[in-house]
Chain A
Amino acid sequence: QLMLQESGPGLVKPSETLSLTCTVSGASISSTTYYWGWIRQSPGKGLEWIGAFYYSGNTYYNPSLKSRVTISVDASKNHFSLKLSSVNAADTAVYYCARHGLSTYVRSHFDYWGQGTLVTVSS
């Protein structure tokens, strides 16, 4: 059974960097043929795709967030991470990690989701 679990600080100060980790169990990130990504949900902007990576090296980001986002992977720990820099109140949201459901395609629906973690940006 594939499971994803987000972890990280629930409170980040304005202008600092938000850092989250998604730990995957039930599958190996490095040996599957799927993209793995991040999505966030806020009352103001609804569901918003942040970006995704493929273990072989391809990474894609939402154009509106691209200048502030980095997604990286640690295959030895079977987890991947999100960094969002220069945060402000508009970045307050529930952050989800998810698997893109179509093998080898980033242009895909999402078939497995983590439970989500609330990150609040506030001083």
Chain B
Amino acid sequence: DIVMTQSPDSLAVSLGERATINCKSSQSVLYSATNKNYLAWYQQKPGQPPKLLIYWASTRESGVPDRFSGSGSGTDFTLTISSLQAEDVAVYYCQQYYSNPPDLTFGGGTKVEIK
């Protein structure tokens, strides 16, 4: 299976500052036939299910604020919150959907707090 490793486990950022979360896959999730990275990002607040933010590594889901952006390719990916807002306090997860036969796996999560 493809192991997803996130770093850091947690980070504290001042309001209005940039937050950067990393995700590394144990093998490439770039599918050469489509040139797409099979990677998504989610935000989870306490007591709620994960909410989809980004798919195809950099495509923002409808309704997601543009301060959230995804980048990277192959095995190394980043979720950036350009200007942290109070409502962004949450745990963030990456997920790969490249495995075939299907074995969809998630990273361990990164907790974002206000400094």
B28-78 contacts to A (CB < 8 Å): 38, 40, 42, 48-52, 55, 61
Pair A107/B49 contact, Cβ less than 8 Å: no
Contacts A63-B103, A107-B99; A116 near B52 (Cβ below 8 A): no
Residue of B with least CB distance to A115: B49
Pair A60/B101 contact, Cβ less than 8 Å: yes
Interface size class of B (residues with CB under 8 A): 20 to 34
Does B17 interact with chain A (Cβ within 8 Å)?
no
Most chain-A Cβ atoms within 10 A of its Cβ — which of B93, B100, B103, B104? B104
Interface size class of A (residues with CB under 8 A): 20 to 34
Give chain A residues whose Cβ lies under 8 Å from the Cβ of B105. Answer: 49
Summarize B's interface: helix, strand, loop or mixed: loop
Contact with B along A36-71 (1 / 0, CB 8 A): 000000000011110010000000101100000000
Give chain A residues whose Cβ lies under 8 Å from the Cβ of B109. Answer: 46-47
Residue of B with least CB distance to A110: B52
B94-115 contacts to A (CB < 8 Å): 95, 97-109
- A108-B55 Cα distance, complex, nearest whole Å: 9
Residue of A with least CB distance to B38: A107
Give chain B residues whose Cβ lies under 8 Å from the Cβ of A98. Answer: 49
Give chain A residues whose Cβ lies under 8 Å from the Cβ of B50. Answer: 47, 110, 113
B109 to chain A, nearest CB (A): 6
Residues of B at under 8 Å CB distance from A? 1, 38, 40, 42, 48-52, 55, 61, 93, 95, 97-109
Residues of A at under 8 Å CB distance from B? 46-49, 52, 60, 62-63, 96, 98, 101, 106-111, 113-116
Q: A107-B38, A109-B97, A113-B50 are in contact. List 9 more A-B contacts (CB 8 A).
A: A46-B109, A49-B105, A49-B106, A60-B102, A62-B103, A63-B103, A98-B49, A101-B52, A110-B40
